[in-house]
Amino acid sequence: MAVFEKVLKDPVHDEIRVDDPWIWRLVNTAAVQRLRRIRQLGTSYLTFHGAEHSRFTHSLGAYETMRRVLDHLRKECGWPEHERDRRLALAAALLHDVGHGPFSHTFESIHPVHHEHWTRRILEEDEELHGILAEMGEDFTAELIAILRKEGGNPYIRQLIASQLDVDRMDYLLRDALHTGVSYGRFELTRLIRSLTLADGAVVLKASGMHTAEQYIFARYFMYTQVYFHPVTVGSDVLVAQVLRRASECWQDGSLTEMPAELTVLLTEDPERVRVEDYLAVDESTLLYAFRRWSQAADPVLSDLARRFLHRRLFTYVVRPEPSPEEWAALRTAARALGFHPDYYICGRTSALSGYVYRGEGITLLLPSGEKTELSRVSKIVRALVPDSEYRLFFPRELLAGGGPQQARIRSILGVGGPGV
Amino acid sequence: MAVFEKVLKDPVHDEIRVDDPWIWRLVNTAAVQRLRRIRQLGTSYLTFHGAEHSRFTHSLGAYETMRRVLDHLRKECGWPEHERDRRLALAAALLHDVGHGPFSHTFESIHPVHHEHWTRRILEEDEELHGILAEMGEDFTAELIAILRKEGGNPYIRQLIASQLDVDRMDYLLRDALHTGVSYGRFELTRLIRSLTLADGAVVLKASGMHTAEQYIFARYFMYTQVYFHPVTVGSDVLVAQVLRRASECWQDGSLTEMPAELTVLLTEDPERVRVEDYLAVDESTLLYAFRRWSQAADPVLSDLARRFLHRRLFTYVVRPEPSPEEWAALRTAARALGFHPDYYICGRTSALSGYVYRGEGITLLLPSGEKTELSRVSKIVRALVPDSEYRLFFPRELLAGGGPQQARIRSILGVGGPGV
Amino acid sequence: MAVFEKVLKDPVHDEIRVDDPWIWRLVNTAAVQRLRRIRQLGTSYLTFHGAEHSRFTHSLGAYETMRRVLDHLRKECGWPEHERDRRLALAAALLHDVGHGPFSHTFESIHPVHHEHWTRRILEEDEELHGILAEMGEDFTAELIAILRKEGGNPYIRQLIASQLDVDRMDYLLRDALHTGVSYGRFELTRLIRSLTLADGAVVLKASGMHTAEQYIFARYFMYTQVYFHPVTVGSDVLVAQVLRRASECWQDGSLTEMPAELTVLLTEDPERVRVEDYLAVDESTLLYAFRRWSQAADPVLSDLARRFLHRRLFTYVVRPEPSPEEWAALRTAARALGFHPDYYICGRTSALSGYVYRGEGITLLLPSGEKTELSRVSKIVRALVPDSEYRLFFPRELLAGGGPQQARIRSILGVGGPGV
Amino acid sequence: MAVFEKVLKDPVHDEIRVDDPWIWRLVNTAAVQRLRRIRQLGTSYLTFHGAEHSRFTHSLGAYETMRRVLDHLRKECGWPEHERDRRLALAAALLHDVGHGPFSHTFESIHPVHHEHWTRRILEEDEELHGILAEMGEDFTAELIAILRKEGGNPYIRQLIASQLDVDRMDYLLRDALHTGVSYGRFELTRLIRSLTLADGAVVLKASGMHTAEQYIFARYFMYTQVYFHPVTVGSDVLVAQVLRRASECWQDGSLTEMPAELTVLLTEDPERVRVEDYLAVDESTLLYAFRRWSQAADPVLSDLARRFLHRRLFTYVVRPEPSPEEWAALRTAARALGFHPDYYICGRTSALSGYVYRGEGITLLLPSGEKTELSRVSKIVRALVPDSEYRLFFPRELLAGGGPQQARIRSILGVGGPGV
């Protein structure tokens, strides 16, 4: 029997199995291969040095998780009954991140188009990718886009792609935990998958899986508080945003002469008029290359910010309430006196610290009686994980440390200790 | 007590401890941070998707391994007695890869200067790095360079940095195994370290560690045969080399108009005249950026090769004896007839398949009697791992598959099956 | 240098290091070796087949954890300053379970002497053990006993042996998780240890360790709810207790003729008059041997109960409120009608389900300000883990399943489904 | 759908799935449950303290491995086509160890009946077990016995149960490695299983699996040399054998008055006349109980040997050629002079040290050409693992250490160092 079968070794799932030739063709499109050049955790590698894995490996992992979920549900509930649904689910898992740009969320602050917009356009306009999807039948691409934009399509698949219990989170928690080297993100994936079932048009959890779900919710809580919103990572994101903003401004006022062509298009063109191929031509190597060029730029703010990022001389931070207008004014004056342009060198961010945000759609437990309930109603612990957040102010260490009167002033405003800080 | 201590989470060693402020300063130099942008396994990630880790994380791992080895040896043998030796050993481990360029060994085929040459120049000429090393005392840098070039310096340290049992291999086997997702590279690091001792001016292995060393040698054997010389990886290296070669030629004959400035210097200047800062400015993002630009180049060979690499349409291969001159001529003619320039589209490589190459310096076992012997003399299994190699011919799949007469011709020369290959 | 060093391979800690000859002598006493014949988790292996590890391996693991804690604290805080304290701590960790009997807590229901009573007597009266301890100096044994009975001695050591953050729990959570095959019990041991410090005479946690402590508290929560109080395990304990109770009664009324001599002493003698050597002569092989003999006993209740345990025909259970006196009476009548003596065949148990019981002594966090607070005051999640419990009624499956009127009666009282249950 | 499904957590395979109710009934027979009271690695736990797992857990693991192998082969080759073969294979894996006695191989030295004899008798004569097997159809039990005795039955199943690549070894290498805490025994089980295929009536390995098979062969080599034939373990086996031999002799000459009834039958009755239920009544708790009784016996040799085992005061050993008759005589004389009966206190053993013994039936590789070859013909490394062995002489430490003239004499005969040994 000449059966198609690709087995890829994977550090999280041990093996990733591809039994469909068309999936393998999707994996090998330029649009998917590009994800190898976009890191899964953006700038987190500057905090956790091991976090160097890409969205490509995560996309394979989400695909594999979906494959296992479908195997289980077909055995347990007879769904997916139709090959088309199976294909939709697998393609959705593999392609869910295809619209992401480099340093994803930070990049969106400069190029204000949500990655889901690009997902749609790539699936529709990239010839290679679209060609494969078109073979799957009429409306396949349209339903796939609806699912990935959470606007419609098969409700089971939509839930498995984007909900409290989706294959995206299942893979990334395990993968990010492995690479960062923390043990927080672990939960029993096999058992969690086995606890899934279908009821009344929704993916729900059997009551016997309650504790496994609690473990998964805790994994999320820990990863969010300890890894994803780690202040050093948020500070790195701030730096990336400031570099991009300053470069944009310098380019527009003509004081910057060097900018990769692809980036110029993205940063200056009306987003609707950017061609898909131009968008896909930008990845993290484009940005890193640009940063290195800019580290030699004539503009001192831009070159300094770029060097800080490249050489990991990151901003420091304090956790405190957001400054009052008076405090802001005083901070800005002191920063300026020290030679730091306050627009680029002082920046506040509020970071969420929660793990389980209920927001309307939670995790549904199917009780033995047939009744359904929301996980947080039966789990006191999940209930305790209410949303929380923290305000942090980022700036260069030089604003705080040292013996000068301005630094003393800033320390006094921020309520932190002596010059040796 | 305000003790300096940095603890970094690591997927291989769990924790990496930095107790010396100057080590932390070395880690944060631009020259070391640059290693974040050079992958540890070059193009292996195109074969094993998880192999996305950088030389930076490996450098930290080699440092940590050295730190543990020194802890053990100081307890066991009283060495290093002097702080200077301890510092030399730690710095050597951290900096052993600092001279590497992007896609290291492949890059050297174009820029024919060995990375150890650059190591020396960087340690001597990079102001930031040199400044820190200079504080360690007179001759510190000189001895460090001698150690890293295997030309002199403390013999214990030299051996721990580059020998059959060095901290470089100890870390990379474990790290590469973890990220590729194979289980081959595992061995008992703690026990191996505990088996080390010093005798007659050399680092040797206590006889009780023989089986642990066998396990380590096997790990190497498996990683070399299964991962490092995997034909898909070698084929990817071939592609990188061809892209760089063609780009160089096109640049020199004026048919290529776009080339990152840093790369231009490296590819055209007399190596001795390249400044260290120019060398350090080139990393994998430079090459990936250049490849993407070149994928739009006017030269059809260059743009095709660059696209093949970026979109992972790699060369295929056959394992066979090296072709005879007549076979070569016939292959080239057939390739040319199919529109493939044979200089760039057919390429042979011989890959080593062995794990333990004795080459004069092996692993010394210290027997209970006080006598010393070489590991392969007492271990039949290690003895069996004699050097071996394999010749492979790489070329585009289109040369082989398909119904045309030229393909049939090539298949016949290479002795492979029908058009559906 | 001829340094004493024993390194034992361990599935949890990788290696257990013994650097003190006297510790190695303690390990090799008959009293400690006996713990190899007492399982760490009692009857849990009937629920989780992998839970076959002994109190001996756990004792080594607790010792190793203490060794690492002391290494850390000495580096961090200079304690233990005196060798005597270090020795007390290590000995206490190694010997904390030495008084345990087979199926520990269940056995105490028959032989109503707390294992801490036996710990004291063994340390004082076992010649071999006492001899080694006596060499440690005057009052060493007395202080060790005070610590193990939580009555006095060095407060740091007492806390490290028995508190919310003791080496006992640290080892058993990891070890029990490994052997049962669940992933719940994992937490970052190295990081937790590194978070410990001393303040105002107490072992406290640095604020930076808060999330690690949360993870540890969750690990406990999961292990308690999912493993330690698993109803199948509790049902197995019930069976052991019933066998021992019935055997005692039969022996006393003369209807049982066979009882291992050592057991006879324990079950019939005034505890104060039992000699230490007689107590130490009883382990799980004694009980298993006795159970097998009793499975052939003339008394039908005893032989049936013993066979149920040996061949794993365990009691089933229902979770429900405790029966009212009327319900009890009806249940007993129905059971008797089915030939089951209700005193031995129906048994209720309330099991705790919580993970973090505050009971006066919690986990103290040392804030950066120098203030101290209790973990549950700053961690909402820990606060959510309030004590909880569940009542379960255990009995043979035959009382429930089957078509007879008595079973229907019982099902109706207990509010459970049809005859196919 | 009310589908039967039991999922057991397992430390090696994560989960063990039982989808057949009759398998679950087999698991719950008294004959299989008895294996919980027989350790998988006999006395190895005295060398590697973690090796406390039972033949029961290994039997479940062998069953699970077979289940996965069958899943793969059915998908790959369409075998087993018939439910009967699938059942035979699963039952054979689960029951392959059911005839083992306590301290298996050692016990056979006293009760000279091979465990496979008991396997046959148990399957035929144990009512509970036989009853379940009889439901599987005529001749099912007969073929199962033929397979387990390697005398006939389906050749595929016979090979999967007992050959160089059987499910028995696959499970025990992984399981024993986990519990002893060594990393030697690891290999890629999933990949090894996926490499299996059927050709010409035999289970063979696809050529692509060669390196995986090499890894598995190395795992065996390491486990045999480092764990299974560890001299401390062999010395413990020697001690068990001496205790049993001495007890037998004392019982027969009337100097021993206490012996568990079940043991008396086994040690004195003609094996053919021992009833199956008497054989099954003996497990390790019987022996441990007997050892403890005997540690109080009047016979000084018996009580001393029993105490040595119980309290882990094991024999020491020297590795050397087998003594000559003259050396033996001198050793015996010296031992006797020191008060040690040489028949019981000096004992030599030859231990195999090899991992891959070819003995006619090796591992067959299926080459891409369709030809078959033996693994050792293509793998130099496997070829290097030729059988090897070592002679070791075991005796109490007291014969060697100490200042007396007899010890000096013995040291001189054995060629070992001074009195401080």
- Provide the shortest C-alpha distance from residue D148 to chain A (in Å): 32
Tens-digit pLDDT profile for residues D78-130: 999 999 999 999 999 999 999 999 987 787 777 777 788 899 999 999 999 99
Mean pLDDT, rounded, for A241-265: 91
Mean pLDDT, rounded, for C313-323: 93
Q: In sequence order, what DSSP letters do the residues of D349-368 get, joined into one string?
A: EEEE--S---SS---EEE-T
The tokens of B73 are what?
């040896």
- Checking if the pLDDT of D225 tops 70, the result is yes
Binning pLDDT at 50, 70 and 90, where does residue D235 land?
A: very high
Residue with tokens 């069976």: C239
Q: At what angle do helices D300-310 and D284-294 cross, to 10 degrees?
A: 130
Query: Rounded distance, CA A179 to CA B187, Å?
Result: 20
Question: Looking at residue D157, what is its pLDDT?
Answer: 97
Question: Looking at residue C418, what is its pLDDT?
Answer: 59
Tens-digit pLDDT profile for residues A283-302: 999 999 999 999 999 999 99
Mean pLDDT of all residues belonging to chain B: 91
B282, B101 in Cβ contact below 8 A?
yes
Tens-digit pLDDT profile for residues A301-345: 999 999 999 999 999 999 999 999 999 999 999 999 999 999 999
Binning pLDDT at 50, 70 and 90, where does residue D381 land?
A: confident
Region label for B9, one of left (φ > 0), alpha (ψ between -120 and 50) or beta (otherwise): beta
The tokens of D90 are what?
């699963």
Residue C182's contacts (CB-CB under 8 Å, 6 or more residues apart) are: A188, C48, C222, C223, C226, C227, D9
Classify residue D257 by burial, with Cβ atoms within 10 Å: 0-12, 13-18, 19+: exposed
A366 SS3 class: strand
- Checking if the pLDDT of B418 tops 70, the result is no
Question: Looking at residue D1, what is its pLDDT?
Answer: 41
Question: By C-alpha distance, which of D28, B408, A87, B369 is closest to C307?
Answer: D28
Residues A35 and A79 in one domain: yes
Tens-digit pLDDT profile for residues A102-115: 987 787 777 777 78
- Checking if the pLDDT of B1 tops 50, the result is no
Question: Looking at residue A360, what is its pLDDT?
Answer: 54
Phi first, then psi: give them for residue A62, nearest 5 degrees: -65, -40
D289–C289 CB contact, under 8 Å: yes
- Checking if the pLDDT of C1 tops 50, the result is no
* Per-residue exposure over B102-117, b if at least 16 CB sit within 10 Å of its own CB, e if not: bbbebbbebbebebbe
Does A176 or A270 have the greater pLDDT score?
A176
Beta bridge partners of B196: B205
Beta bridge partners of D391: D350
Residue with tokens 């249950």: C421
Q: How many domains does chain D have?
A: 2
Tens-digit pLDDT profile for residues A260-272: 888 888 888 888 8
B10, B61 in Cβ contact below 8 A?
yes
Percent of chain B with pLDDT over 70: 96
Please tell me the least confidently modeled range out of B214-218, B400-404, C254-258, C398-402: B400-404
Residues A218 and A236 in one domain: no
- Residue C158 sits in a domain whose CATH number is 1.10.3210.10
Does D385 or A219 have the greater pLDDT score?
A219
Query: Containing H/E element for A382?
Result: helix A380-384
- Checking if the pLDDT of A76 tops 80, the result is yes
Residue D355's contacts (CB-CB under 8 Å, 6 or more residues apart) are: D217, D218, D220, D221, D222, D223, D224, D225, D385
B336 SS3 class: helix
Q: What is the CA radius of gyration of chain C?
A: 24
Peptide bond into D300 cis (omega under 30): no
Phi first, then psi: give them for residue C384, nearest 5 degrees: -70, -20
In a domain, C383, yes or no: no
Mean pLDDT, rounded, for D239-258: 93
Question: Looking at residue D112, what is its pLDDT?
Answer: 72
The tokens of D145 are what?
């016995």
In a domain, C399, yes or no: yes
Binning pLDDT at 50, 70 and 90, where does residue A354 land?
A: low
Nearest chain D Cα to B181, which residue?
Answer: D188
Binning pLDDT at 50, 70 and 90, where does residue A421 land?
A: very low
How far CA B7 is from CA of B20, B28, B83, in Å, comes to 11, 15, 21
Dihedral over alpha carbons B223, B227, B229, B234 (to 10 degrees): -160
Q: Long-range contacts for B258-262 (Cβ within 8 Å, ≥24 apart)?
A: B258/B293, B258/B294, B258/B297, B259/B290, B260/A289, B260/B286, B260/B289, B260/B290, B262/A292, B262/B286
C36–D52 CB contact, under 8 Å: yes
- Checking if the pLDDT of D421 tops 70, the result is no
Torsion over CA: C210, C382, C169, C138 (sign): positive
In a domain, D359, yes or no: no
Query: Rounded distance, CA C322 to CA D354, Å?
Result: 62
In a domain, B172, yes or no: yes
Question: Looking at residue C354, what is its pLDDT?
Answer: 64
Question: Looking at residue D418, what is its pLDDT?
Answer: 59
D157 SS3 class: helix
- Provide the shortest C-alpha distance from residue A323 to chain C (in Å): 22
Query: Rounded distance, CA A196 to CA A198, Å?
Result: 7
Question: Looking at residue D286, what is its pLDDT?
Answer: 93
Question: Looking at residue C359, what is its pLDDT?
Answer: 52
CA triplet A207, A212, A217: central angle to 5 degrees? 110
- Provide the shortest C-alpha distance from residue D385 to chain B (in Å): 7
Query: Rounded distance, CA D213 to CA C99, Å?
Result: 48
Question: Looking at residue B421, what is its pLDDT?
Answer: 47
A222, A177 in Cβ contact below 8 A?
no
Residues C71 and C97 in one domain: yes
Query: Containing H/E element for B205?
Result: strand B202-206
Mean pLDDT, rounded, for D383-409: 88
In a domain, C82, yes or no: yes
pTM over 0.90: yes
* Neighboring chains of D (3 or more beta-carbon pairs < 8 A): A, B, C
Mean pLDDT, rounded, for D208-233: 91
User: A178 lies in which domain range?
Assistant: 6-229
How far CA B229 is from CA of B59, B225, C322, D210, in Å, comes to 22, 6, 68, 16
C186–A186 CB contact, under 8 Å: yes
Mean pLDDT, rounded, for B133-141: 95
Residues C270 and C223 in one domain: no
Does B80 or D418 have the greater pLDDT score?
B80
In a domain, A369, yes or no: no
Question: Looking at residue A63, what is its pLDDT?
Answer: 98
C146 SS3 class: helix
Question: By C-alpha distance, which of A219, A115, A119, A118 is closest to A165?
Answer: A219
- Provide the shortest C-alpha distance from residue B186 to chain C (in Å): 14
Residues D119 and D145 in one domain: yes
Residues D300 and D406 in one domain: yes
Residues C286 and C264 in one domain: yes
Does B2 or B45 have the greater pLDDT score?
B45
B88, B68 in Cβ contact below 8 A?
no
Residues A194 and A212 in one domain: yes
Residues C238 and C122 in one domain: no
Residue B186 has its nearest CB partner, among D186, D226, D385, at: D186
Phi first, then psi: give them for residue A150, nearest 5 degrees: 55, 35
Nearest chain C Cα to B197, which residue?
Answer: C1
Tens-digit pLDDT profile for residues C161-211: 999 899 999 999 999 999 999 877 789 999 999 999 999 899 999 998 998
Residues D226 and D253 in one domain: no
Please tell me the least confidently modeled range out of A404-418, B237-251, D56-70, D227-241: A404-418
Size of interface A-C (CB pairs under 8 A): 47
D203 SS3 class: strand
A338, A331 in Cβ contact below 8 A?
no
To test the contact with chain D by mutation, choose from C49, C56, C257, C265 the residue with the greatest count of D C-beta atoms within 10 A, namely C49
- Checking if the pLDDT of D202 tops 50, the result is yes
Residue D15 has its nearest CB partner, among A14, A15, A190, at: A190
Mean pLDDT of all residues belonging to chain A: 91
Query: Rounded distance, CA D275 to CA A381, Å?
Result: 56
Nearest chain B Cα to A285, which residue?
Answer: B285
D230, D260, D282: which is the final residue of a domain? D230
- Checking if the pLDDT of A1 tops 50, the result is no
Question: By C-alpha distance, which of D173, D208, D192, D183 is closest to D355?
Answer: D173
Size of interface A-B (CB pairs under 8 A): 109
C6 SS3 class: strand
Mean pLDDT, rounded, for B182-203: 91
Residue type, C88: L
* Neighboring chains of C (3 or more beta-carbon pairs < 8 A): A, B, D
- Checking if the pLDDT of B387 tops 80, the result is no
Please tell me the least confidently modeled range out of B19-28, C160-169, D202-211, D348-357: D348-357
- Residue D320 sits in a domain whose CATH number is 1.20.1250.30
Tens-digit pLDDT profile for residues D134-178: 999 999 999 999 999 998 999 999 999 999 899 999 999 999 999
Mean pLDDT, rounded, for C349-354: 81
- Provide the shortest C-alpha distance from residue C209 to chain B (in Å): 13
- Checking if the pLDDT of B265 tops 90, the result is no
In a domain, B1, yes or no: no
Residue B190 has its nearest CB partner, among C14, C190, C191, at: C14
Structure ipTM:
0.92
Please tell me the least confidently modeled range out of A48-57, A72-81, A89-98, B407-416: B407-416
D29–C283 CB contact, under 8 Å: no
Q: In sequence order, what DSSP letters do the residues of B205-229 get, joined into one string?
A: EEGGGHHHHHHHHHHHHHHIIIIIT
Percent of chain C with pLDDT over 70: 96
B194–C7 CB contact, under 8 Å: yes
How far CA B167 is from CA of A134, A181, C34, in Å, comes to 52, 20, 42
D385–B383 CB contact, under 8 Å: no
A213, A229, A245: which is the final residue of a domain? A229
D203, D230, D257: which is the final residue of a domain? D230
Please tell me the least confidently modeled range out of C5-9, C63-67, C380-384, D84-88: C380-384
Residues A241 and A265 in one domain: yes
Question: Looking at residue B357, what is its pLDDT?
Answer: 56
D212 SS3 class: helix
Helix then strand count (H, E) for chain C reads 22, 9
In a domain, D305, yes or no: yes
Tens-digit pLDDT profile for residues C90-140: 999 999 999 999 987 787 777 777 788 899 999 999 999 999 999 999 999
A393, A320 in Cβ contact below 8 A?
yes
Chain C residues inside the 8 Å CB shell of D292: 262, 281, 285-286
C352 SS3 class: strand
- Residues belonging to chain B with any Cβ–Cβ distance to chain D shorter than 8 Å: 182-184, 186-188, 211, 214-215, 218, 221-222, 225-226, 380-381, 383-386
Query: Rounded distance, CA C34 to CA C44, Å?
Result: 20
Residue with tokens 């669940």: C182
Residues A267 and A299 in one domain: yes
Beta bridge partners of A319: A392
B356, B221 in Cβ contact below 8 A?
yes
Chain C residues inside the 8 Å CB shell of D57: 49-50, 52
